[in-house]
Amino acid sequence: MDFGLSEEHQMVQRMVRGFAAKEVLPTIQEQDRVGGMAPFIIPRMAELGILGMTIPVKYGGQGMDYISLGLVSEELEFIDTSLRVVISVHNGLTCLTLLQWGSEEQKENYLVPLSKGEKIGCGAFTEPGAGSDFAHIQATAKKDGKDYILNGEKMWISLATVANFAVVTVRTDQKTDQAYRGLSTFLVDLDSPGITRGDIHGKLGVRAGSTGWINFQDVRVPAENLLGEEGEGFKVTMSAFDSGRYTVAAGATGLIRASLEASTSYAGERNAFGGKISDFQLIQAKIARMALDYQAARLLYLKAGWLKNQGVRNTRETSAAKWYATDASFRAAAEAVQIHGAYGFSDEYPVERFMRNAKGAMIYEGSNEIQSLIQADYALDKRRDKKIRRELPSYDHQTWISGPGKI
Amino acid sequence: MITKPGSQVQEKYNQLSNYKEGNSVKIIVCVKQVPDTAATMTVDNGAISWGDAPLIINPWDEFAVEAALNLVADQGGEIIALCLGKEGETEAIKHALAMGADSAVMVSDPALEGADNVAASKVLAAAIQKIGEADLVLFGQQSVDTDTGLLPVQTARLLKWPSLTLVSKFESVNPGDGKIQVLRSMEEAGQIVDSSLPAVVSVTKDYGEPRYPSFMGIRKASKAEYPVWSLADLGIETPSSSIAWPEVTEPVQKEIVTEIIEGETPEEKAKSLVEKLIAEKVL
């Protein structure tokens, strides 16, 4: 067993840390105040190769492994959640889902430009009336000749107004015995006629990010854009969540670290009752808990990443990592606000932003209540991973960094 | 991986370092490993400590690597990163390679522990001569740890090459004609300087932002092999240092008094501030 990061991993970590600290940190507090994503963020991430980092070179990516994806997510959310959300949505929900389920033609047409950052992708799954109860989504697609006609509305979609393509899951069969069996997933060009979209304002957190809605009104989508087979939409979507949740877990770990560093720094400077507040045991207890949570969350996501590298199904581990890290990140950020006292209540310090941002991840990509049910089902042997038709490819260094070779 | 002279890596390195054609430029970039600039420095029993903070490439050296990369992109050639340090400390070299340097050489010898600038410049000059046929030797303006900015000049003197310090722009580099023109950026003014090649140049941060290592560069660097030369490999004796640090102490703690300027309006506050600055003889 080796708990050390490779030299390559450490260099990736430092590179992304440098980008986020140098180019985003100086303006993030103001951007969060103003709202919306700074226009330079996504083009710059594309330029640095971050948007296709964990995709094989033959599909336009950088050929880095899943551990690197986790480390990058951690570094990005250390600065701001909005940065990591780009990774979760573009890399996790879109690119990796295409890598797992896409045909060679779909990979060529969609994955290559997405990996290169020439196009941006998002995952359109949640609806105004269905989030955790995903099997009961209402949006539909009906076969019409060689096309499908999509209708319905998707909501709380990160990058909704920024993306060019969306991975969209809708109902194609109303008559199945189990609701989840009637779903199918499509790759949809968001410039298609009949699509309207907009941003959602007034969010508690991730204000420097893009969250919106997408409406489909008789949108014609070619049948060759079906991702997976008809009726496989639930499995495709759950696979997407296995990828997305991994980055959410790793990102939340970065947020714990950010809260921890802000707290140790402030506690070492702030005087009260004739001493530094870092000398007081009640403050120390809060900091100790953050440090412990950081270690635990990190180990959980790295294990999930390691399993992904091996090509081993990791729904259980990824769900556990997401649940633990996001709960712990909110706890850490809230305690960081408490340690900062009245200053923590103002946006003079970043910890109030951390706390607002942390809350969202307890809700999206499967609420933490859903994660706890998943864990209970595994523990009670009510749930076992069944083999699916297309598994997420394992990481093979040589294949991923070279052109030829079927993945 | 690090290898010793005589190995396959050394032979490969020798072949690469003989490459030169047309107006292409052979550049040696000297890089140094320093404690992370975010580290908290303390003095512990007379020794400087930065805790368990990682080592990084001297941030000033990144500008030198960037300049080398742009020169080679424009007119062809090769870049060799040269680092003087402890054998296991690979960060500076790996960072330069990940940014795009073609190859690297490490000079490491236990006898160099505690070497000062004079000793370091002798070692670097010997290594530069051993690499051979360099048109340019680039340094960062200074290093963030010792902060002297003397090494480029000292090295140039030993090589008997022109020293061009504080360079922010390369107007032209013509190895064929043996000429270089640069812009030096000083506090008072800019200065265009013509000189002969080979030359030693220190690059300022006005040159332009250094690039981040690319993912491809990182992969290449993490697997890169490079020779490690000892003083014996360079054929020199242990150079003596002229400077010793008999005692290191923490900076004297200054008592800082903060005063909030009161006033009803900004004009009133500004007036009050000016009065106080005049009273304190700041203005």
Contact B215 A62 (CB under 8 A): yes
Token reading at A178: 């189990």
Contact A8 B98 (CB under 8 A): no
Residues A352 and A240 in one domain: yes
Residue A50 domain flag:
yes
- CATH number of the domain located at residue range(s) B2-234 in this protein: 3.40.50.620
User: In this model, does residue B8 exceed pLDDT 90?
Assistant: no
Nearest CB partner across the interface for A12, out of B94, B95, B218: B218
User: In this model, does residue A148 exceed pLDDT 70?
Assistant: yes
Residues A334 and A350 in one domain: yes
Range of the domain at A142: 122-232
Question: How many Cα atoms occupy the beta-carbon half-sphere of B271 within 13 Å?
Answer: 6
Q: Residue A18: list chain B partners with CB under 8 A.
A: 212
Q: Residue A46: list chain B partners with CB under 8 A.
A: none
Q: Residue A8: list chain B partners with CB under 8 A.
A: 218-219, 222
Q: In what order do the strands lie in the sheet with B77-84?
A: B2-3, B226-229, B103-107, B77-84, B25-31, B136-140, B199-203, B163-174, B179-185, B190-196
A360 membership: H or E segment, kind and range: helix A351-361
Residues A242 and A388 in one domain: yes
Residue A406 domain flag:
no
Contact B214 A53 (CB under 8 A): no
Residues A211 and A240 in one domain: no
**Residue of chain A minimizing CA distance to B219:** A8
Residue A407 domain flag:
no
The reply to whether A49 touches chain B by the CB within 8 Å rule is yes
Residues A362 and A256 in one domain: yes
pLDDT digits (tens, 9 = 90+) for A308-338: 999 999 999 999 999 999 999 999 999 999 9
Reported ipTM: the value is 0.90
The helix/strand/coil state of A122 is strand
Residues A36 and A69 in one domain: yes
Q: Which of B218, B222, B226, B258 to mutate to test the interface with A (most CBs of A within 10 A)?
A: B218
pLDDT digits (tens, 9 = 90+) for B138-183: 999 988 887 788 899 999 999 999 999 999 999 999 999 999 999 9
Catalytic residue among A104, A365, A369, A391: A365
CATH number at residue A215: 2.40.110.10
Interface of B with A (CB under 8 A): 56, 90, 94-95, 98, 212-216, 218-219, 221-222
Residue A347 domain flag:
yes
The last residue of one of the domains, among A94, A120, A146, is A120
Q: Is A365 a known active-site residue?
A: yes
Q: Which of A84, A5, A12, A6 is nearest to A329 (CA)?
A: A84
Residues A92 and A193 in one domain: no
CATH number at residue A96: 1.10.540.10
pLDDT digits (tens, 9 = 90+) for B80-92: 999 999 888 899 9
DSSP state of A22: I
Q: Calculate the average pLDDT of chain B.
A: 88
Residues A241 and A376 in one domain: yes
Residues A226 and A325 in one domain: no
Q: Which of A5, A10, A11 to mutate to test the interface with B (most CBs of B within 10 A)?
A: A11
Cβ count within 10 A of residue B190: 12
User: In this model, does residue B185 exceed pLDDT 70?
Assistant: yes
CATH number at residue A385: 1.20.140.10
Residue A128 domain flag:
yes
The reply to whether A67 touches chain B by the CB within 8 Å rule is no
Q: Calculate the average pLDDT of chain A.
A: 96
**Residue of chain A minimizing CA distance to B57:** A14
Residue A402 domain flag:
no
Token reading at B9: 């890596």
Placement of tokens 């140790």 in the chain: A264
The last residue of one of the domains, among A181, A198, A232, is A232
- In percent, the amount of chain B with pLDDT more than 90 equals 63
Min distance B207 CA to chain A CA atoms (Å): 17
Min distance A385 CA to chain B CA atoms (Å): 34
The helix/strand/coil state of B245 is coil
Residues A175 and A92 in one domain: no
Residue ranges of the alpha helices (H) in A221-280?
Answer: 233-267
The last residue of one of the domains, among A85, A103, A120, is A120
Q: What is the pLDDT of residue A49?
A: 97
Residues A104 and A216 in one domain: no
Residues A140 and A214 in one domain: yes
Residue A322 domain flag:
yes
pLDDT digits (tens, 9 = 90+) for A223-270: 999 999 999 999 999 999 999 999 999 999 999 999 999 999 999 999
Pairing, β B103-107 against β B77-84: parallel
